[in-house]
């Protein structure tokens, strides 16, 4: 397995496939309808504009089998040291340590960019995703009950966070 920066031109189709599978068949994403190609192009553009990474996991043949990213947590200035991450692994490749490796790379990238708080919003019923975060040093920061409704039931959204030692000297403004 090789890990590295995703390229919108090369990887958008793979990212879209992985994301849409999660939308249609899981509660990992609180969307109802698959994203069209133009939506993933806009998503990549927003990540690039915010200088936020999209890190991929690639098979030896170059096939993308998972990706992780982070973006703005909230749009107010005082949140500038916090980012919210997301992580998706193709259903045929789960349970092989890919999610853990991607999450570690996201932590490294956030640290290098001087962020302090890495947040993840996870469906409270997604035990594997929660266990992954806990193994990576994340702690439960709260749950919003009935935050979403999908597949005919209410969904609770659990927040997990990891505090980083950066920045060395945070500033207001």
pLDDT confidence tier of residue 135, bands split at 50, 70 and 90 = very high
**CA-CA distance, 31 to 86, in Å (whole number)?**
14
Query: Residues with Cβ < 8 Å from 166, sequence gap 6 or more?
Result: 110, 111, 114, 115, 116
Query: Which pLDDT band holds residue 152 (cuts at 50, 70, 90)?
Result: very high
pLDDT tens digit sequence for 76-123: 999 999 999 999 999 999 999 999 999 999 999 999 999 999 999 999
pLDDT recorded at residue 118: 98
CATH 3.40.630.30 fits 2-163, yes or no: yes
Q: In what order do the strands lie in the sheet with 2-5?
A: 2-5, 54-58, 64-72, 82-89, 117-123, 153-163, 139-150
For the chain, the domains span 2-163
Q: What's the token pair of residue 21?
A: 């599978």
- What average pLDDT score do residues 8-12 get? 94
Q: What's the pTM?
A: 0.95
* The pLDDT of residue 43: 96
Q: Is the pLDDT of residue 16 over 90?
A: yes
The pair of three-digit structure tokens given for residue 87, joined into one six-digit string: 């992580």
pLDDT value of residue 23 = 97
d(CA 35, CA 147): 21
pLDDT for 173 beyond 90: no
- Whether pLDDT at 166 is above 90: yes
Tokens of 57: 């996991």
**Residue 114 in contact with residue 125, Cβ under 8 Å?**
no
pLDDT value, residue 105: 98
CA 10 to chain centre: 19
Dihedral sign, CA of 49, 53, 58, 60?
Answer: positive
- 27-84, pLDDT tens digit by residue? 999 999 999 999 999 999 999 999 999 999 999 999 999 999 999 999 999 999 999 9
| Per-residue pLDDT band at 139 (split at 50, 70, 90) | very high
In a 10 Å sphere around its CB, with 0-12 CB exposed, 13-18 middle and 19+ buried, how is residue 14 labelled? Answer: buried
Count of helices and strands (H, E) across the chain: 4, 7
In this prediction, residue 14 carries a pLDDT of: 96
């Amino acid at each position: 397995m090789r890990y590295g920066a995703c390229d919108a031109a090369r990887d958008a189709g793979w990212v879209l496939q992985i994301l849409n599978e999660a939308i249609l068949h899981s509660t990992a994403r609180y969307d109802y309808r698959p994203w069209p190609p133009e939506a993933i192009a806009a998503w990549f553009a927003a990540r690039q504009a915010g200088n936020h990474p999209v890190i991929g996991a690639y098979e030896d043949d170059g096939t993308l089998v998972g990706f992780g990213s982070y973006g703005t947590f909230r749009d107010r200035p005082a949140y500038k040291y916090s980012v919210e991450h997301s992580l998706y692994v193709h259903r045929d490749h789960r349970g092989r340590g890919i999610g853990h490796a991607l999450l570690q790379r996201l932590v490294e990238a956030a640290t290098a960019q001087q962020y302090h708080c890495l947040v993840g919003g996870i469906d409270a019923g997604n035990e594997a995703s929660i266990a992954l975060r806990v193994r990576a040093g994340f702690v439960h920061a709260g749950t919003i009950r009935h935050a979403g409704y999908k597949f005919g039931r209410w969904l609770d959204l659990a927040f997990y966070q990891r505090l980083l030692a950066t920045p060395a000297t945070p500033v207001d403004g």
